[in-house]
């Protein structure tokens, strides 16, 4: 009696195992894990070896992570240094291009008036004396620079040499109050005397005859009268006209063509032809 019950239990247990195995195989097949299980059943040693190798790779990646991060940071630092160096190179090339452009304009201007002798000079300082608007240049008596010589830039007249030493010179700007330059207007051909108005103010042309209708925008150039400056050196343009019919003369305000704050290279005109008027000062 007991033997029969035991056999029946074994049958039910076997049936349950078969049904469970079938369900497990169905689930594994639907999830795609059946291939791995069959591989493990066929060759358990290879499966264990593969799992061990994968775990070892994962552990190796974890260990190598900090090393890779340090290498990446070093590479980023090297790239930043390269970018900074290239940026400095670009700035140097840009500055060199600007200097070349200034020199090109200066020499083009010199080519237009080959009859003038010039000495090229670098601006080495701005005068801090509030009583005198001037700049300092690196050419002096040893280079042929003398007091009174005109000084120009690529865009036009700057002023004239105020005093000179062996290797440097001080140039009084045309905006200086003591400056007086004979000028001529480009359109009306009217003449007058350009006088500086001091620091922060624009120079003006005095003694313009009322018969001339001076217009804003007219070009202002040196007239060459008096022999201290060659003629036709550009000074600037008229920006305002002060005209009063009750007076004998009118006045014009001039915007200089040169920005005196950004000067780097200039020309000192050491020799130019002037009209000889000494014969008219002699008594008959």
**Half-sphere exposure (Cβ direction) of 102: Cα atoms closer than 13 Å:** 18
* Confidence band of 257 (pLDDT split at 50, 70, 90): very high
Asked whether residue 44 carries a pLDDT value surpassing 80, the answer given is no
Average pLDDT over residues 14-29: 65
Q: Are the beta carbons of 168 and 268 closer than 8 angstroms?
A: no
Report the share of the chain in percent with pLDDT over 70. Answer: 65
Taking all residues of the chain, what is their mean pLDDT, rounded to a whole number? 80
Confidence at residue 70, expressed as pLDDT on a 0 to 100 scale: 80
* Confidence band of 5 (pLDDT split at 50, 70, 90): low
β partners of residue 222 = 183
Integer-rounded Cα radius of gyration of the chain? 46
Neighbours of 82 (CB within 10 A): 10
Kind and range of the H or E run holding 8: helix 2-31
Neighbours of 219 (CB within 10 A): 15
Asked whether residue 45 carries a pLDDT value surpassing 60, the answer given is no
- Residue-wise pLDDT tens digits, 135-164: 999 999 999 999 999 999 988 999 999 999
Specify whether the backbone of 183 is left (phi greater than 0), alpha (psi in -120 to 50) or beta. beta
Neighbours of 107 (CB within 10 A): 14
Q: Are the beta carbons of 196 and 160 closer than 8 angstroms?
A: no
Average pLDDT over residues 241-255: 92
- Residue-wise pLDDT tens digits, 89-133: 777 766 666 566 655 666 666 666 777 889 999 999 988 777 789
- Residue-wise pLDDT tens digits, 201-238: 999 999 999 999 999 999 999 999 988 999 999 999 99
- Retrieve residue 66's tokens: 């900090």
- Residue-wise pLDDT tens digits, 194-204: 999 988 899 99
Confidence at residue 139, expressed as pLDDT on a 0 to 100 scale: 96
* Confidence band of 18 (pLDDT split at 50, 70, 90): low
**pLDDT higher at 273 or 3:** 273
- Tokens 């000084």 belong to 151
């Amino acid at each position: 009696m007991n033997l029969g019950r035991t056999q029946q239990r074994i049958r039910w247990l076997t049936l349950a195992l078969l049904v469970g195995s079938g369900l497990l195989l169905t689930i594994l097949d639907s999830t795609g894990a059946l291939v791995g299980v069959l591989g493990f059943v066929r060759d358990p040693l290879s499966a264990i070896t593969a799992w061990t190798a994968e775990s070892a790779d994962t552990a190796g990646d974890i260990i190598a992570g900090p090393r890779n991060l340090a290498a990446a940071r070093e590479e980023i630092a090297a790239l930043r240094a390269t970018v900074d160096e290239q940026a400095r190179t670009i700035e140097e090339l840009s500055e060199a291009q600007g200097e070349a452009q200034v020199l090109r304009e200066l020499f083009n201007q010199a080519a237009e008036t080959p009859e003038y002798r010039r000495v090229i000079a670098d601006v080495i300082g701005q005068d801090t004396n509030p009583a005198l608007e001037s700049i300092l240049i690196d050419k002096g008596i040893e280079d042929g620079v003398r007091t009174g010589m005109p000084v120009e830039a690529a865009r036009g007249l700057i002023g004239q040499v105020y005093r000179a030493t062996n290797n440097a010179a001080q140039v009084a700007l045309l905006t200086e109050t003591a400056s007086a330059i004979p000028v001529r207007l480009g359109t009306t051909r009217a003449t007058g005397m350009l006088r500086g108005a001091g620091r922060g103010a624009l120079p003006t042309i005095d003694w313009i005859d009322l018969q001339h209708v001076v217009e804003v925008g007219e070009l202002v150039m040196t007239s060459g009268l008096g022999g201290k400056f060659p003629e036709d050196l550009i000074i600037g343009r008229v920006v305002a006209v002060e005209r009063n019919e009750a007076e004998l003369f009118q006045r014009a305000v001039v915007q200089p063509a040169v920005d005196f704050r950004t000067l780097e290279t200039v020309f000192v005109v050491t020799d130019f032809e002037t009209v000889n008027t000494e014969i008219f000062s002699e008594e008959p």
